[in-house]
Amino acid sequence: MLDAINNSTVRTADRKQPEDAVGQSMDQLGGDAFLKLMIAQFQNQDPFEPMESGEFLGQLAHLTTASGIGDLQKSFEKFAGSMATDQGLRAAGLVGRNVLVESGHGYLGEGQPLMGAVKLDSGAAEVNVKIQNEAGELVAELPLGQQSSGQAEFAWDGLDRNGQQAPPGRYKVSAESVNDGRSTGLDVLASATVGSVSLGRNGESPTLSLLGLGDRSLSAVRHIQ
């Protein structure tokens, strides 16, 4: 009898290896492999010291949590991929169209006006737009008169203060509102044509190549014209 018990104990010690493998591999194994090890553990457990229910439930909870986190990560990855694809398609549809982006510069094209808009949080008795060349010299002033809150659009035909046609290129644009003799600087939105689109990487927003203004993120677009 003692020999039988001793032999059983030896066999049980040899069979406990799957339990150790389960504990060491739970974080690395998939659900199917884990369940196979659990079954092997039941089949090879010591009949004199069966696995307690608390231990079993703990391992099962560990598997459920790990599987749940993995499924959640996969869901987020699919969602992020879907969003990136949607953004890319929307951005590609902007090629050839004009957009408004916040910028202190505007572009005067060949035979094309420099266009943009001024953002007003409240109404103003007067709104003035100033156009300067890259050297900082005042080229033209555009009085927009009285404006209510919102966006006030403007267009410069390229004629300077002497009535001469200014050369095509980038120009500095600034604006101010005047109320009761006090001037307040305003944000300027420049209008530019989308020449091409580059898709973002690692979840980044697509990049738009704007004619005359360079590259801007899709998130910088405030209005599509």
pLDDT digits (tens, 9 = 90+) for 174-205: 999 999 989 999 999 999 999 888 876 666 77
Q: Which amino acid makes up residue 200?
A: G
Q: Which two tokens stand for residue 25?
A: 């591999």
Separation of CA 104 from chain center: 24
Burial (CB count within 10 angstroms: exposed 0-12, middle 13-18, buried 19+), residue 161: exposed
- pLDDT of 218 > 50? The answer is yes
Q: Which two tokens stand for residue 33?
A: 């492999």
With bands split at pLDDT 50, 70 and 90, how would you rate the model's confidence at 163?
very high
Separation of CA 94 from chain center: 18
Residue 144: closest CA among 131, 132, 160: 131
The predicted structure's pLDDT at residue 44: 65
- pLDDT of 41 > 70? The answer is no
pLDDT digits (tens, 9 = 90+) for 80-114: 444 455 555 566 778 888 999 999 999 999 999 99
* Distance separating alpha carbons of residues 42 and 160, to the nearest angstrom: 90
Q: Which amino acid makes up residue 30?
A: G
Longest dimension (CA), the chain: 118
Q: Mean pLDDT over residues 132-137, rounded?
A: 94
Instruction: Look up the CATH architecture of domain 98-224.
Output: Sandwich (2.60)
pLDDT digits (tens, 9 = 90+) for 124-133: 999 999 999 9
The predicted structure's pLDDT at residue 173: 97
Domain ranges of the chain: 2-92, 98-224
User: What's the Rg (C-alpha) of the chain?
Assistant: 35
